[in-house]
């Protein structure tokens, strides 16, 4: 799949080349990639190369491996298997079951089981999208890790909204 990155900005230079200002989603390194005028005929941001300096590759947990193996054995990833949108519908059903359990008692076995069911569906959705649940969690953490704010009346308020 190659290193994933975000394009933060693009700049068209006087010579008609384009600079892509990027950031690696794995290691956070910012870099600039320039495509010359002639390169632009056949390439776009997909032609950008970056060698990630992240030292720790994502490691799949044993439960994730078990879920993916289980889904594979049952044809989830074969032709005729579910689509991501069909799995999204299953996720919404599981979320409603979780809500019902949380309303009665969040510390019960049933509430934990329903939460686990949601994670199973999310794990399968990630695989259907060509990624892993671990990568999705890393991306989500990178998005929130520097957020600041405080809890007010049970709701998180971003620092910028205080």
121-157: pLDDT as tens digits: 999 999 999 888 988 898 898 888 888 889 898 898 9
Q: How many domains does the chain contain in total? A: 2
Asked if 129 and 82 sit in the same domain, the reply is yes
Q: What is the pLDDT of residue 38?
A: 40
Percent of the chain residues past pLDDT 90, beyond the cut? 39
Asked if 42 and 66 sit in the same domain, the reply is no
Q: Which of 141 and 7 is assigned the larger pLDDT?
A: 141
The answer to whether residue 32 scores a pLDDT higher than 60 is yes
Residue 50: burial class (beta carbons within 10 Å; 0-12, 13-18, 19+): middle
Asked if 41 and 70 sit in the same domain, the reply is no
Asked if 87 and 127 sit in the same domain, the reply is yes
Lowest mean pLDDT among 2-6, 13-17, 31-35: 2-6
Asked if 34 and 78 sit in the same domain, the reply is no
Q: What is the mean pLDDT of residues 77-97?
A: 95
* Residue-range definition of the domain harbouring residue 33: 5-47
The answer to whether residue 40 scores a pLDDT higher than 50 is no
Q: What is the mean pLDDT of residues 101-115?
A: 93
Query: What CATH number did the domain enclosing 101 receive?
Result: 1.10.287.1080
The answer to whether residue 91 scores a pLDDT higher than 90 is yes
Contacts 24+ apart (CB under 8 A), 57-66: 58/132, 58/134, 58/135, 58/138, 59/134, 60/132, 60/134, 61/134, 64/123, 64/132, 64/133, 64/134
- Residue 18 within a domain: yes
Please count the other Cβ atoms lying within 10 Å of the Cβ belonging to residue 33: 16
- Residue 71 within a domain: yes
Q: What is the mean pLDDT of residues 97-108?
A: 93
Q: What is the mean pLDDT of residues 42-48?
A: 47
Asked if 83 and 143 sit in the same domain, the reply is yes
Find the helix or strand (DSSP H, E) in which 137 lies. Answer: helix 133-144
**CB of 123 closer than 8 Å to CB of 94:** no
The answer to whether residue 42 scores a pLDDT higher than 60 is no
Q: Which of 25 and 99 is assigned the larger pLDDT?
A: 99
């Amino acid at each position: 799949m190659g290193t994933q990155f975000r394009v933060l900005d693009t700049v068209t230079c006087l010579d008609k080349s384009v600079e892509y200002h990027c950031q690696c989603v794995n290691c956070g390194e910012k870099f600039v990639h320039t495509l010359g005028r002639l390169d632009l005929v056949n390439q776009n941001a997909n032609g950008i190369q970056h060698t990630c300096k992240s030292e720790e590759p994502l490691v799949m947990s044993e439960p994730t491996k078990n879920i993916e193996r289980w889904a594979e054995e049952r044809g989830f990833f074969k032709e005729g298997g579910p689509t991501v949108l069909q799995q999204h519908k299953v996720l919404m059903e599981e979320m409603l079951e979780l809500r019902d359990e949380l309303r009665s008692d969040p510390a019960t076995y049933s509430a934990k089981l329903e939460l686990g069911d949601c994670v199973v569906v999310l794990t399968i959705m990630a695989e259907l999208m060509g990624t892993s649940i671990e990568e999705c969690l890393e991306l989500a953490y990178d998005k929130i890790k520097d957020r600041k704010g405080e809890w007010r009346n049970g709701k998180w308020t971003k620092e910028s909204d205080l």
